Chain A
């Protein structure tokens, strides 16, 4: 892995990950997640894992597309406004702890890495050495799609219940507005009567 390629990819990965976590609007967040998928794809290409890069980018962008379609259909609702970052001191503490533990261990390891120097293509490994793992991964992917469909579907009675709730909220809103209008009119009448009396 070339040093220049690695450091360029590393900067892209860190910046895109930070943007995905820190940006709060759903649209900006989605763009940042797409950037994360592409930047990790760039890292994998730099590492020489072309098939893995292709699979990673295709899988993550397809998943993002499904999530965005779900949001467009109202799955996350129009009222889904950005919620402010809370508990950031705890998050910062946990992040610092993770960096200290993980990177501290890596730095403490120093040059003690065992280098095997053997490199095998992913397609070959998947086909000849890990066929069961490949099958399991396909099963996990298919099961996730099925479970997501079962959980996320809207049954007819649920849709009807939603419609009823929405109609009730609109009715209550209309009544509230009418009450406010009546109260305002009463105040005006009272003011006019008091003014006429003087």
Chain B
């Protein structure tokens, strides 16, 4: 028995929803980064799954290339985001995103 594109789309939607839930509820910067990473992995599931099921494409399936792009963007976002969080943590002494509401230069 094989699986078509439908269940793959549902799984992708559930993962996207979990990421969106974390993005809104988490208040620590590390948690927000993790949630964005989960959110960005939802398209990886969709594109790779669609390609495996052979659906949604008229020409040669390039969904796997888009999935790879999503993985690279996810890794890049996490790296840059982690650097930003480390920088803000050094400036604000806090991981709580509510403390980052007004980010401004510190007086010297």
Contacts and interface: CB of A to CB of B under 8 A. Distances in A.
Interface in A71-116: 75-77, 79-88, 90-92, 94-96, 98-99, 101-103, 105-107, 109-111, 113-116
Contacts of A76: 30, 85-86, 89, 95
B13 A106 contact: yes
B38 A83 contact: no
B3 interface: yes
A49 B52 contact: yes
Contacts of A1: 2-3, 49, 52-53
Interface in B68-94: 68-69, 71-80, 82-87, 89-90, 93-94
A145 B79 contact: yes
A120 B61 contact: yes
Interface in B1-35: 1-28, 30-31, 33-35
Contacts of A22: 22
B13 A103 contact: yes
Interface of A is mostly: helix
Contacts, number: 278
Given A47-B52, A141-B76, A147-B80, A86 B2 contact: no
A59 interface: yes
A24 B56 contact: no
A160 to B, nearest CB: 12
Contact of A83 (B18, B21, B27): B27
Contacts of A130: 62, 65
Q: Which bracket fits the contact residues of A?
A: 35 or more
A132 to B, nearest CB: 11
Interface centre among A24, A85, A105 (most CB of B within 10 A): A85
B60 A77 contact: no
A21 B62 contact: no
Contact of B82 (A67, A83, A154, A162): A67
A152 interface: yes
A13 B15 contact: yes
Interface of B: 1-28, 30-31, 33-35, 37-38, 41, 44-45, 48-49, 51-62, 64-65, 67-69, 71-80, 82-87, 89-90, 93-96
9 shortest interchain CB distances as A-B pairs: A102-B13, A144-B76, A21-B22, A75-B86, A152-B83, A106-B9, A47-B52, A91-B25, A91-B24
